[in-house]
Structures are given as C-alpha cells and as structure tokens.
Structure 1
C-alpha cells in the first residue's frame, strides 16, 4: 500500500518483553505498532525481549498492521544485538531513537539492509537537522518524541503545546518536503479521552498522519480523529464532480458551497478519498 494512502492514524507502543501484550496486538484495531526494545524494557530483560520479539515477528499474525521495532541506540551496549536479532525477522521498519545525523541512519542502514528506517525526533539537534534526515533515501517516517523534547528544551508541558510548536512544525515541514510519514508524540494521560482527542485534533490540523499511543484504550480516539469525516468525504466527491464538469465546459475552476475549487483542491480531495478507501480496506481485514 502506498505510504501516502496507508493509514497511520494510530501507532501503538508495545513493550517487546510482554508476551501477552504482543499476542493481544494481533487483535487490536491499530494501523501500526511500535514494538519497543528501548525505554519500555529494563536492561536485564532486553536479551529475552529481543529473542521473544524476533520469534513472534517471524511467526507473523499481525495482519495488515505496519510493524515497527524501536531498537536501542547503536551507541549503547544493546543496539548491535537488537539489529542482529531483527535481520530477516519480518519487521516493516526499524525505529532509531534520538536521531541527530544522517551518519546514524547510514550506520543503521548498513547494519540491517532491506528494511525501512524510521527516526525518533526527540532532541534539539535532531529537529534542527530534520530536513537532512528526512531526505535520507532509506527513511520512511518521523516519530515525534515529545516527552524527551520537553526535557531537552527545558520547556513546560502545556495543554496547547505552544512550547513544542516550532519543533513539531519543523519536523512536519521536512517530512512533507521529502514525502515521508510524520507521527505526532504521545499523550501521557491515557485515561483522559477528552484531552487525548483535543491533542489528536491539534496534531491532525497541523498535518500529522497520526498519533503515537501508549495504551490500547487510546486507539479508538486516534482512529476517529485522524480519519476523514463523512462531511470531508462528501465534499471531496462533490469537488471532484464539479471540477470535472467545469473542465468539460472548458473552465479552469469550479464553485462548490460558494468556494472556488481549483486543481490543488482536487489533489487534496483525491488524497482524502484514497485515505478513506485505505482505511475501509484495512478495517475489512483487521
């Protein structure tokens, strides 16, 4: 499935050390899973976790869900072993934490050929280098590490995320310039659905493809907020029909609901319909 159409509304972190959680992931209505070997796994559990994860990925059963593995940094004592365990295991992508330079991506790419690379954007230097990172030929997506960014920027967490908007925007600009996926950071209060929906709506309106999540209870809200609405689908269809009719009459623009519709609006409308179709396809086989 084309990454421009493939849904990434919900991207759920799952500890790679938890067999029951890994098994449950096969049944969750998520668009993508980040199997976490880094922060969610204690140092003494990392060898067993990577072995378990490699076995379960090789076994399969995750259906259409996009499977991403967040490894430990290659500069840690666990990174090289993570990569070795994942070669040929069946992950769609490998997510590297705290990416700041293209050299880090080159090193990971050399270590694990044939797998898409993703980058955690969670440091000031990484954000400042977002354009160069997004241009890397192996990179498929950014995942915002907003908790680490708050720490590194020494800013205060706020409901409106004002202190993070520059970082979010810079990474999103780079992602869009180079055609890669952009996933918003986590919402920590996993029982606060109202707050989650508000932050999902902000991320959606900024332009992110979806939300990274820390609990299965957050999936439904992210799926709903990041999906095209019935009204958006209807408007897209009417815009395309009106524009096609205008073109048949030799006109370059159409008018729908009192608003001008040009070719750029049709591009967006077709993308909306393609995303809606991809979501329907995914939900049929999930």
Structure 2
C-alpha cells in the first residue's frame, strides 16, 4: 500500500470510536463499510494517481482522485461543430462530453473535426485535467454488428489526450472489461520513456436498455468507472412507451423511469462511485430544470447532465450548499470531532444534541459530504431559492432530429437569496511558472479571420489617421512597393494595410487561454517585435508560443519572470508577426 493509499484508508475511518459496547458494535459496522469503500477506492487508485498527474508516493494529500472530483455539471457538446467545441472550455462546466453518438450524423466528419480540435488544445489538456475541466468523449455503442465506429472513436479520444469516455447503451460489465483491456494495451503502447501513463476513466450511461437496468449494480462496479448516469429516451423506445413523463400530474417521471433513476443512485453509492442525474430535455424551462436539479441534490446525486450552456450555472447553484447548509454542516463536523456540543451532549455515548436535534454518526457522515460538495473556487457558497430562478430571456436553443441542443448564448444565473450578486467561481486555464519549461512550444487553438471593420475600428480607437490603413486609392499606389512580386495578388494588392498594433494585440490575445489565463500578474514588456509580412483584410491568422527562458523573482517569492516568443502566421504559413515579451507569472501555491 502506497502512502497515498494509506492516507486514504485513514481518512475513511471515524476520528474516534464510542466506548459503549452497543455503540461499539455500530461503529464496527461503520468501519467495515468504510473499509469496503477504502478497498474499492484503492482498486480504482491503480489509475487515479496518474490521471490527476500524481505519480509520487509522497504526493500531497489534497490531490483530487477521479472518484472525488466535482462533477456537478456534465455538459454535452456536439463533436462535429467547431464553433461549439471552441467555446466548450469557457462554459465553466466541471466535465464536458464531446459527443460522437446522438448529436453527430456523419461519424467520419465528427471524428475528423474532433481530432483537429483535440490536436489544437493538446498542450493544455494536462493542466485542464488537474485544475478545472474534465474532458470525456462519448463513443458510439459497443453493441451492434459494426464495431468500427466505437473503436475509431476510442482511438481519436485516446490519441487526443482526453481524460476518459462516456459509454452509451452499455448492457453488462463485460463490455467495460473489454474497454479496460483495450485501453490498458493502448496505455502500455503509448507510455512515455519513464513508463508513466495517464489512464482513462469511464462514465457509463447505465439504463438505456432493459438488460442494462437489470445489470446496473454490476455495471457500476466495472473497471475504471468513476461515475454512472441514467437516461430514459432510448429505454422508452425499447419498451414501446409513449413518453417518459406523466402528462396529467405535473410532468413527473412515469414509475418505470423513476425506478431507473433511483436504481442509478443506489448502484452508484453501493459501488462508491458518483451518481449523475439525467438530462432535462426542455431547455426553455429553466424553472423546471432547477427544481429537478435541486431534487437530485437532496436525493444524493453528485451532479446532472446538461444540454444548454445556461443550465451549467443553474446546476452549479443548485448543487452548491447554501450558506446556512454549509455552516450547519461545519458546526456538526466540528462538534462531532471535538466530542462535545454546546448543549452538553457527549459523542462518547454515540450521539450529541444540536439545536434540539439528536446527532449521531450518519449525520456526521452526511455533513462531511455537504462540505465536500462546496466548490473549492468559492470562498462563500452560492445561495439561492429555486423559486427565484427564472428562465433567461435569451435561451434560443431547440431540439431537432436527435441533435444535442446548443447555443452561443450563456447567461449565468448567479444571484443570491437577498438579491445581491452571487460569487461565481473563477475558471483559470493558464499555466503557472513551474509549468512553463524553456523549450515548450504551444500551438494556440484560437484563430481569427481579420476584417476591414477590425482595421478601421482599431485605427479610430487609437487615434491613428495614417492613410495606409484607411485609404484604398493610396493602397493601390503602394501595392507594388509592398510586394516582392508586383504581379502577385496574394499580398492583398489594393487593400489597406492592417494596423500592425492590432496584429500584435491579436497575437498576444490568442495566446492567453493556454498560456496566461488567470495565472499572469503583469506584462513586463517586449524586447523584440517585428512584422516580416503585411496583414490585409480577409487574412486568417493563427498563433504559437515558445518558452525561451524563465527565472524566479528575487523580490516576489510567489512569482517568476517568463520570456515568451509569440509567432503569428497567415493562411499561407507566412510569419506576419514575431514578438518576444516578458511576463510576471504566478507560482503554484
């Protein structure tokens, strides 16, 4: 047993045991349950340490294992839509699921689009997995005569560096064992020179066929499984039912689907993995969504599937403990661990009194779970009353032909009970000083086709009346002197030159998400800026950055100075801007 596993075992045990014989028997039962949980977590920790970037036996005890991380929102993104993919990491979801199944008609196009996107952000994936967003790929079902789709899906996701896979229509643990064997072989084949791998986790949808419902307990116990979720649309089709909700009594689920929801929760908790509630299909009904998310929280679910960006903030708010819930849980834990209460109770007797109520071990365990649900990024939890959260005016998504609903609008719902602004957890994607090793090159995923409007607006905003940026007739006269080949039209003959300060600003801006987002303290200056080729309206620019140097700050021990070399390229692969700059970066705490 490693030191990390030993710590996990110790943390599973109650801090003290009651001395009373009857209470001792209860405590032994509790310990056996905790030991089972610990053994199950140790079984999973064969891959969890690597999956969080923690491969040292002397790792920090605060490391979040895959089974422990927050998965309040598990958000679907169609894998064949480049616009939605590019926005997905900025939505604030705990987990995004890049969907190659239901929302993708042409599977080949979907895989190719997903491959290009994952390649563009590959340098950011390790830090994202450790800090904020978990990235999964929903593959196609393993059942069926053609197994080409799911195997190709698995390959694209694995080579793209995602954290794991969502498995639809899984019917038995045997399918998960097959995936485990395939992934194990792929991990061995692609392990680095140091032998370290980052194993992939699995999140099955465990109720989409009748056989799956009957086998759900064993599915939850499957290898690599860190959470299970449930769905009823496919099951409804297999059963031949005419719907999933009761049309005459408030829209509650029909009994059979309420049973599936409950079984998902029970199977997950028996297997000591997370339970994720299913989708709420009516993306326009935000009140109904919030009510169902709140019900899921009180049932014991750890999170909920989301289809629309507006649902992400709402589900985070629903699952975040209110201030009163958090304070009460903290008080109960503190009193239990101290062994006494303000009302004179004694934990050694197996219970204590708190606010006129008897508190015993189950209350203590539940209070610990309430505390664990609090977002680490929040100093104060978001408070809300579900009746006060109304649907936003700008929801414009709709469902059609089985495609997952999406929109570019994301209106955050973060108001507190008293009408004041709630505190919204920050999402930082950038790298810290320690991550920025000299020689590291990052290709940035943002690209930009620049327009004449960009040029005119920027020139006006900066009070620059130079006619080379604004005068088309003068640009025609200057075309020959700017082009190495006067007969060539590839240099934008006749078009005004782009303001080079815009090009520089755009280059630095495109570098922010994977590099300095939330981790920079100050931009210290530029030591070199050159523009080898001109930029014209209609050009498409991309960027990449190489780390040239870094050094610790003598006067600021929590910060360091990093030298970046930014390069901007046009659609022909020509360098249009090269900039070397120094920035003051945060160090890891």
What residue is the counterpart of 2:231 in the other structure?
A: 145
Among residues 173, 194, 197, which one is paired with 1:102 in the alignment?
Answer: 173
* In 1: Cα distance, 2:376 partner to 2:265 partner: 22
* Number of aligned positions between the proteins: 286
Unpaired runs of 5+ residues, structure 2, are: 1-63, 185-198, 246-250, 380-423, 429-589
Q: TM-score, normalised by structure 1?
A: 0.91
**Partner of residue 157, structure 1:** 244
Give the superposition deviation at 1:3.
4.5
Matches within 5 A, 1:151-230: 151-155=237-241, 156-158=243-245, 159-163=251-255, 164-230=257-323
Q: Indicate how the Cα distance of structure 1 residues 98 and 115 shifts in structure 2: closer, same or farther if over 3 A, else same.
A: same
Q: Does the 8 A contact of 2:204 with 2:229 survive in 1?
A: yes
CA–CA distance in 1 between the matches of 2:228 and 2:154?
19
Tell me: CA distance 1:217–1:102, structure 2 relative to 1, closer, same or farther (3 Å). Answer: same
Larger Cα Rg: Structure 1 or Structure 2? Answer: 2
Q: Please name the residue that 1:12 is paired with.
A: 75
The structure that is helix-richer by fraction is 1
Q: Is the 8 A contact 2:229 2:264 kept in 1?
A: no
CA distance in 2, matches of 1:242, 1:236: 10
Is 1:263 the equivalent of 2:349?
no
Q: Structure 1 162/259 Cα, relative in aligned 2: closer, same or farther at 3 Å?
A: farther
TM superposition shift of 1:39? 0.9
Secondary structure of 2:226 counterpart: strand
The 3 A distance-change label for structure 1 pair 238 and 47 is: closer
Distance across 2 between alignment mates of 1:152 and 1:146: 10
Q: Secondary structure in 1 aligned to 2:160?
A: coil
Describe the shift of the 1:4–1:84 C-alpha distance in structure 2 as closer, same or farther (beyond 3 A).
Answer: closer
Contact kept, 8 Å, 1:246 with 1:252, in 2: the verdict is no
Which moved further from structure 2: 104-113 or 146-155?
A: 146-155
For structure 1, which runs of at least 5 residues remain unmatched after alignment?
none
Selected match of 2:122 from 34, 41, 58: 58
Query: What are the Cα deviations for residues 168-209 of structure 1, in whole angstroms up to 9, with x where unaligned?
Result: 111211110111121111111111111111111222222211
Map 1:7-156 to 2 at 5 A. Answer: 7-43=70-106, 45-56=109-120, 58-60=122-124, 62=128, 64-74=132-142, 75=144, 76=146, 77-113=148-184, 114-121=199-206, 122-155=208-241, 156=243
What CA deviation, in whole Å up to 9, does each residue of 1:68-119 have, x standing for no partner? 1101123443111111222242211111110001121122122223211221
Q: Greater relative contact order: 1 or 2 (C-alpha under 8 angstroms, separation 6 or more)? A: 1
Instruction: For residue 4 of structure 1, report the CA deviation from its aligned partner.
Output: 5.4
TM-score normalized by the length of structure 2: 0.46
> Mean Cα displacement is larger for which, 241-250 or 158-167?
241-250
